[in-house]
Amino acid sequence: MVAEDDEKQAELVRRYLEREGHTVTVVRDGRSAIESVRHRAPDLLVLDVMMPRADGLDVLRVLRAEARELPVLMLTARSTEDDLLLGLDLGADDYMTKPYSPRELMARVRTLLRRPRLAAAGDAAALSALSVGTLVVDPDRHEVSVDGTPVDCTPGEFRILHAMATEPDRVFTRQRLLAQLHGFDRYISARTVDMHISNLRKKIEAAPHRPARLLTVFGVGYKLTDPSASRVPS
């Protein structure tokens, strides 16, 4: 599904998607996007931010509140970090800023559509709840908690946290975390990982600017650790 009010842009995206064998539905405003997702259950949504009758961010809020986890690729003319962080925090899986290359858009669509198959390829142990100190990641229920308090994570944040919880204290490079998000693809920016990490710290850290669980290993990547394990007993 393509939600884009610019007729020329929508037609261009539709043509490229159909050329790759996809069946495409185009809607021109936010409310139509919400209703169409509810009735058609698409495999992926290409969602413009600036639309009439509910913008793309409001569409994303509604769909994620309904626990709809279809992949969402946002298109935006906004390029500030705050705007991009907000889109990811609301549950966007990826974003592109306008103007963009249609070929790059198709590459990102392909990696997002491959994502469920990558997730399904995990072993049986991936269904077990994982604990790193008082942080618990439960993939079966798609739930995260810290000190017994539920944490609301977007699909992208959950995939990163789950991957890191399977191997506590191991350093994950940005490229490895990108593989968890989208599969290996040269078009996906490592900056997407940094934004997800920033959002996760706001949710699981007592002091996000002084993280104790989700640590940066400078020049390498990130690791998830149990902060209580490094404390000296009194």
pLDDT tens per residue across span 33-92: 999 999 998 999 999 989 999 898 899 989 888 877 788 998 887 665 666 667 777 778
Q: How long is the chain? A: 234
CA 192 to chain centre: 8
The arrangement of strands across the sheet holding 172-173 comes to 172-173, 221-224, 214-217
pLDDT tens per residue across span 2-38: 999 999 999 999 999 999 999 999 999 999 999 999 9
113 and 178 both lie in a single domain: no
pLDDT tens per residue across span 121-158: 444 444 578 999 999 999 878 889 999 999 998 878 88
146 and 114 both lie in a single domain: no
Can you give the pLDDT at residue 113? 83
Can you give the pLDDT at residue 157? 85
101 and 197 both lie in a single domain: no
8 and 112 both lie in a single domain: yes
Q: Checking DSSP bridges between strand 72-76 and strand 45-48, what pairing results, if any?
A: parallel
Split into its structural domains, the chain has a count of 2
Contact 23, 48 (CB under 8 A): no
Strand residue runs (E) in 79-185: 94-97, 130-132, 135-138, 143-146, 149-151, 172-173
Asked which of 85, 120, 155 is the last residue of a domain, the reply is 120
Say which CATH number the domain at 85 has.
Answer: 3.40.50.2300
Bridge partners for 94 per DSSP:
73
Q: For residues 86-111, give the mean pLDDT.
A: 83
57 lies in which domain range?
2-120
132 and 45 both lie in a single domain: no
Asked which of 100, 120, 140 is the last residue of a domain, the reply is 120
91 and 134 both lie in a single domain: no
70 and 96 both lie in a single domain: yes
**85-94 burial: b if 16+ Cβ within 10 Å, else e:** bbbbbbbbbb
